[in-house]
Amino acid sequence: MNPRTRLLAVMLLALFPLALAPYAGAHITVSAPGAVAGRPATIEVRVPTESGTASTVTVRIQLPAELAGGATATAPAGWRVERSDVTVTWIATAGGAPAHQAAVFTVAVDRLPAGTFHFPAVQTYSDGTVASWTERGAPGLELEHPAPTLTVGGPADAGQPTPAANPTTTVTATASAGSPAASPTATPAASPTAAQTDEASSGTLWWVVGAVAILVAAIGVAVAIRRRRN
């Protein structure tokens, strides 16, 4: 194999992770925009259809024990919802979520405590394929089918109002003998909010770009090998 052929082969191998990584990252995710620990919240479940030919027709999630008692699930147009003690199942009534598209479902909870919660999910496609998103691992560990996870921050003062600052008032402290020291003022920390992750449409775009790049590289390798034989 001449140097040019070897170079093209290396390029072809290097392009495979580029093409497959965005596709593999299109997992089911959960988020709670604007949520504050200890208060009612709406949890959003985003379900991308990773298949290029089939639609998502059924989604079932298991609710954490801390949330199941006060949870109310709703179904968007074209779906119906079934509820058990600890699970919520959305069933398509009008075709489901098409290939490379995403469906978003909501679950309202009476109180969202602080902590990290897992929502094991099972996704069923119109062609009978079943994807189980149930794996758990240490933070940062890459999993093939990770369970959707929601982390809610919650300092003890999350429910207390933050005092407003007065920009026109200046206070000067004068030290004198026998006077008590001025006590510091603590500013409550802002409560973090959960953010949504990957979009099915952007993952599809990068997958297509990677696939085209692989095709071009493969053609180059074939041409180089043919020239070498001639």
Q: How confident is the model at residue 140 (pLDDT cuts 50, 70, 90)?
A: confident
Task: Give the range among 54-63, 88-97, 168-177, 219-228 with minimum mean pLDDT.
Answer: 168-177
In a domain, 165, yes or no: no
CA–CA separation, 78 and 59 (whole Å): 13
> What's the domain count of the chain?
1
In a domain, 132, yes or no: yes
- Containing structural domain, residue 140: 3-153+199-229
In a domain, 214, yes or no: yes
In a domain, 98, yes or no: yes
CATH classification of the domain holding 145: 2.60.40.2230
In a domain, 173, yes or no: no
Give the neighbor-by-neighbor strand order of the sheet with 71-74. 29-31, 39-48, 102-112, 71-74
Which of the pair, 178 or 77, is modelled with greater confidence? 77
Q: How confident is the model at residue 210 (pLDDT cuts 50, 70, 90)?
A: low
In a domain, 94, yes or no: yes
* pTM given for the model: 0.60
In a domain, 174, yes or no: no
Is the pLDDT at 226 greater than 90, yes or no?
Answer: no
| pLDDT at 167 (0 to 100) | 41
Q: How far is CA 87 from CA 83, 95, 210, in A?
A: 6, 22, 37
Assigned token pair, 97? 């979520």
Average pLDDT, the chain: 74
In a domain, 167, yes or no: no
Q: How confident is the model at residue 154 (pLDDT cuts 50, 70, 90)?
A: confident
| pLDDT at 131 (0 to 100) | 97
Q: How confident is the model at residue 176 (pLDDT cuts 50, 70, 90)?
A: very low
Q: Check: CB of residue 121 under 8 Å from CB of residue 108.
A: no
Q: What is the mean pLDDT of residues 189-203?
A: 39
CA–CA separation, 129 and 107 (whole Å): 25
